[in-house]
């Protein structure tokens, strides 16, 4: 068992932190909004007053925040993680940011005689609850081996993909398909619905068909009813799509379906739906199709 720290307790971050606590690790946490930590504190976690205090109390320090700006906010300054990161400690960032930013941060961590892994997860809230997340890891091999037993408490499949930046690259390459699949699924449902097939029936049939990927199975029902709290909202999804498009330009890889789907995410924001789960792409297409829905209303 290890002394583990966790910064960033959103829907996914809080769930990941709970798995670490359930595995028997000593857990110290910080979040910008303390109320989101209350349920973990009730379960036995310790509260720290700053990200720096989390790093000072922990051998393994995790972050899972929304973007590169949020990573910078919790890492930098006198109360940041880097200020409390002593030699020999291991910093594990589970956020999805640009590979270039990840590599630059890893260099700063190395200057402190500590090590860093980028370790985003592949999966959703449901995957997390069922203990089926995949953990993608970039960084030095010895740091990966040291962290692997702890990462296996988060998900049973842990992949070492190469140096720092490799894992976030793989995460971006994976995530672009989520929105593309959701838009294609929405097209099919609306085509069936406007031809006279009830939406519920269309969804049921499509979820029993060959197109029913794991993502479609757990997010397809959102075209009938959005979750009370977004699993992965429009802004977060578009951040990942933009990272993918940026990488595509750098590597001369055309991403036509990513680019087209990204425009529908922009339309969702224009309709005031940015706080909804990105499955609200269905709502955008439905409005364009003249189909009435209650999503986002």
Active site residues: 171
Paired residues of 88 in beta bridges: none
Is the separation of the CB atoms in 162 and 138 below 8 Å? yes
* Backbone φ, ψ for residue 275 (5° rounding): -85, -5
Structure tokens at 23: 């595995």
C-alpha to C-alpha distance for 153 and 40, rounded to whole angstroms: 16
Which residues are CB-contacts of 168 (< 8 A; sequence separation ≥ 6)?
A: 96, 97, 98, 99, 102, 118, 120, 136, 138
C-alpha to C-alpha distance for 111 and 3, rounded to whole angstroms: 22
| Helices 281-289, 166-194: crossing angle, 10 deg rounding | 30
Angle at 170 between CA 18 and CA 241, to 5 degrees: 90
Is the separation of the CB atoms in 100 and 45 below 8 Å? no
């Amino acid at each position: 068992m290890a002394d583990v720290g966790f910064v960033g307790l959103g829907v996914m971050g809080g769930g990941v932190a709970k798995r670490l606590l359930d595995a028997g690790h000593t857990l110290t946490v910080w979040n910008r909004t303390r109320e989101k930590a209350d349920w973990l504190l009730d379960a036995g976690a310790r509260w720290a007053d700053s990200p720096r205090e989390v790093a000072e109390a922990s051998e393994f320090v995790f972050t899972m925040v929304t973007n590169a700006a949020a990573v910078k906010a919790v890492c930098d300054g006198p109360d940041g993680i880097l200020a409390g990161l002593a030699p020999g400690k291991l910093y594990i960032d589970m956020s999805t940011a640009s590979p270039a930013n990840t590599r630059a941060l890893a260099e700063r961590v190395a200057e402190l005689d500590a090590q860093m892994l980028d370790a985003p997860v592949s999966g959703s809230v449901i995957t997390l609850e069922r203990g089926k997340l995949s953990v993608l890891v970039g960084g030095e091999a010895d740091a990966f081996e040291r962290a692997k037993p702890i990462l296996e408490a988060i998900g049973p499949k842990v992949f070492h993909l190469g140096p720092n930046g490799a894992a976030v690259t793989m995460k971006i390459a994976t995530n672009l398909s989520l929105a593309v699949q959701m838009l294609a699924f929405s097209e099919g449902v609306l085509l069936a619905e406007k031809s006279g097939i009830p939406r519920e029936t269309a969804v049921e049939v499509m979820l029993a068909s060959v197109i029913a990927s794991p993502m479609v199975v757990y997010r397809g029902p959102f075209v009938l009813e959005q979750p009370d709290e977004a699993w992965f909202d429009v802004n977060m999804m578009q951040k990942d799509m933009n990272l993918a498009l940026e990488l595509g330009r750098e590597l001369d890889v055309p991403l036509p379906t990513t680019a087209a789907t990204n425009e529908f995410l922009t339309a969702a924001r224009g309709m005031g739906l940015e706080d909804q789960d990105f499955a609200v792409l269905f709502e955008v297409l439905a409005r364009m199709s003249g189909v009435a829905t209650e999503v986002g209303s």
